[in-house]
Amino acid sequence: MRDPKTWSEREYFASVAERPPMFGIRSLSDLESFLTGYDQHAFRHGGPGLDGWRDWLVARRGKDCNHGWTGQVRHLALPEGWTSWDITPEQEARVSGLLFELLDEFLAERDAAEGSKKSRPAIIANRLSEWAHQDLNLGPLRYQAKSMVC
């Protein structure tokens, strides 16, 4: 097994997704706290952390509101809306699963941009332009909130 210190962020988070309890994650709230702590640690030590994550999610969703990244992920995963931050176990599973998928996609785009020296704002602007000019056919992920409106 490779030393985890040599893993990319994508490899690290894939490992977290495969074995959340090994990282102390037993709920969506734990996962959100874990990612926030990861981001703050990276910020403090000069790493990229989740810089640009919320903006990327807003671009993905195609709509902004006052929610942080946790709410943006919920909007994408629960297009029917929700009435409370305390969601059902089934909803938690949907949000958690989509969160890991979106995080991997975000990190892949960021890695590609760093390889091509493209700035994060340029990536976000490019994604906004792409999504604005195409039907994403997201099916159940299309935003149609009924209860948590924003």
Backbone angles phi, psi at 39, to 5 degrees: -65, -45
Q: pLDDT tens for residues 46-91?
A: 999 999 999 999 999 999 999 999 999 999 999 998 888 999 999 9
Instruction: Give the helix ranges, DSSP H, for the chain.
Output: 9-18, 28-44, 53-61, 69-77, 89-116, 120-132
pLDDT top residue among 141 and 26? 26
Task: Say what the pLDDT of residue 118 is.
Answer: 52
Q: pLDDT tens for residues 104-134?
A: 999 999 999 887 555 555 555 555 555 555 4
When pLDDT is cut at 50, 70 and 90, the band that residue 5 belongs to is: confident
Question: Mapping DSSP to helix (H, G, I), strand (E, B) and coil, where does residue 63 land?
Answer: coil
Q: pLDDT tens for residues 15-37?
A: 999 999 999 999 999 999 999 99
Question: Does 139 have pLDDT greater than 80?
Answer: no
Give CA angle at 47 (42, 52), nearest 5°.
Answer: 85
Task: Say what the pLDDT of residue 54 is.
Answer: 97
When pLDDT is cut at 50, 70 and 90, the band that residue 145 belongs to is: very low
Q: Classify residue 39 by its DSSP letter.
A: H
Q: What pTM was computed for the model?
A: 0.76
Task: Say what the pLDDT of residue 73 is.
Answer: 97
Rounded distance between C-alpha atoms, residue 70 and residue 76, angstroms: 10
pLDDT top residue among 2 and 59? 59
11-42 core/surface letters (b: 16 or more CB in 10 A; e: else)? eebeebbeebeebebeebeebbebbeebbeee
Q: Is the C-alpha dihedral spanning 104, 131, 61, 51 positive or negative? A: positive
When pLDDT is cut at 50, 70 and 90, the band that residue 142 belongs to is: very low
Closest CA to 111 of 10, 15, 37: 10
